[in-house]
Structure 1
Amino acid sequence: MRVIFMGTPDFSVPALRAIATQHEVVAVYSQPPRAAGRGQKPRPSPVQRAAAELGLPVRTPERLKSVQDQAEFADLGADVAVVAAYGLILPPAVLAAPRFGCLNIHASLLPRWRGAAPIHRAIMAGDAETGVAIMQMEAGLDTGPVLAEARTPIGPEDTTADLHNRLAEMGAALIVEQLERLPQPARPQPAEGVTYAQKIDKAEARIDWSQPAAQIDRQIRGLSPFPGAWCLIGDERVKLLRSRLAPGSGAPGQVLSGFTIACGEGAVEVLEAQREGKRPMPAIEILRGLTLPPRLG
């Protein structure tokens, strides 16, 4: 099958690699290289780097709105386009160009968590499970009919990074299965149960220790590794990256023992953290070089 692959971040790479082993990938579309690092030099996306390793042609248009861009897309004569966290809105002409249209690998169980940050939001909301859905794309935001889905529980210590990696591999396996079955019917999404995963705002990252422990634990795990939930330890902003619920109680922000902190209700034990300018470290290592005050800010 002639496939156009469209993706940008690490999440998309397993699907690209899986598809490339079984189908002819006629082009890879990814967002243009962005300035990154200390030198602010343009850095190709993870998908662009993976495509180069696989010897696949890459296109990086800023948008797909021009007649020329859309004509070049149609001229590829693809049977299907697979989209995984591409990051650009596809115009109707692009959606309609491949013989079987465009299929999206979405990291939630639609219609729950349509939108930009489904993995973060599922953890932060306390969902018991999530998964990936293969959706036939249409003009609306993640509103298209679903061809297939795969489910996974959200463990009590899962972070967004953990779930991201698991769902990326699940999505890769599922899209390969579905490509072999085209054409096939898809089920419309139900009207009930629709939620939207709004983009994460950095203002959500500061920890308010007066909140219940369950909410703070989900905040820490849901925002790990980016942008990273944080608190003040003295005058230093420290990111908290892994945690679990712990026994104990006290004034909000009170250090109970080790790296166990009292919340508005219950307590949270921090398992991994990151000091400014340092790498992430287990809490036991952090505490060797950092003395916690009686209460965190």
Structure 2
Amino acid sequence: MDIDEADARRHLCSALRGQAECVADRWVQLQREQAALGSGMTEAELREEADALVEQLSSGLQGNLAADHVVTAHAGLRQAVIEMSLRRARRGAAPTATALAVLVLKEALLEAVQRETRDAASLFSAALLINRVLDAAGAMSFATYVEGREEIIRRQSRQLLETSTPVVQLWDRVLGVPLVGTLDTSRTQVVMENLLGAIESGEARVAIIDITGVPTVDTAVAHHLMQTVNAVRLMGADCFISGIRPPIAQTIAQLGIDLSAILTRATLSDALEAAIALIAAPAGQTIPVAGR
């Protein structure tokens, strides 16, 4: 650390210690003046956030960490920036607004340092130090925001998939999964997990996957279905696929997809009837794979 940076850090730390409330108040005011930066947060929420970040910033600068690494290496300051970013991500704020909310703290800090010294060289060094520290904080807040939003989107997508692929009990120890729309790898995984969990918890003996609402069946879709059927069988249950309409049957035949080992039925009612018969059948008795 050179003499100029040491002097700048001394003035900045002094300002943060003696003017912490003033700095936090000014930062809140600057955010309130630019409504987008506040992300719809109340003044009390902004003040609580400001107090936490200013306190951790003061703590981080009092150590020997290089200015470029204060934000990333000081655990308390890093956590304060991360929490601020995630809180705003959950509020739906824009990532640039979140980063700018951190950067406007520069003005509040420089004003505080000006109250400590009027020396031009010291103020210039302090401005450089503030820029280096808060530019790093702004970059971290932006990256954290993006990661946080992606996680929220992934969680919401997962919840949507689970909602769109319910497992319902059709009969005693008979489960049904009505599929509507495109069946891809992600959705197949959700179907499989939900169905296997329901088989285990409900001690089901038969599962019916109804594809009446699936617009097309290609090689990939057939592969996904066979994976699910095999997983169900490994759980000790039988599995029917219903909703094999004429166009789909024709497509499967033309593609040369072999579903001969899978129990299929034209309609859900046919599959349910066969499932009930299968449960009621004496041990060891089987039913035709593609019979109706």
Q: Which TM-score band applies after superposition, normalised by the shorter structure?
A: under 0.3
More strand by share: 1
* Structure with more of its chain in helix, by fraction: 2
TM-score w.r.t. the length of structure 2 is 0.25
Q: Which has the larger radius of gyration?
A: 2
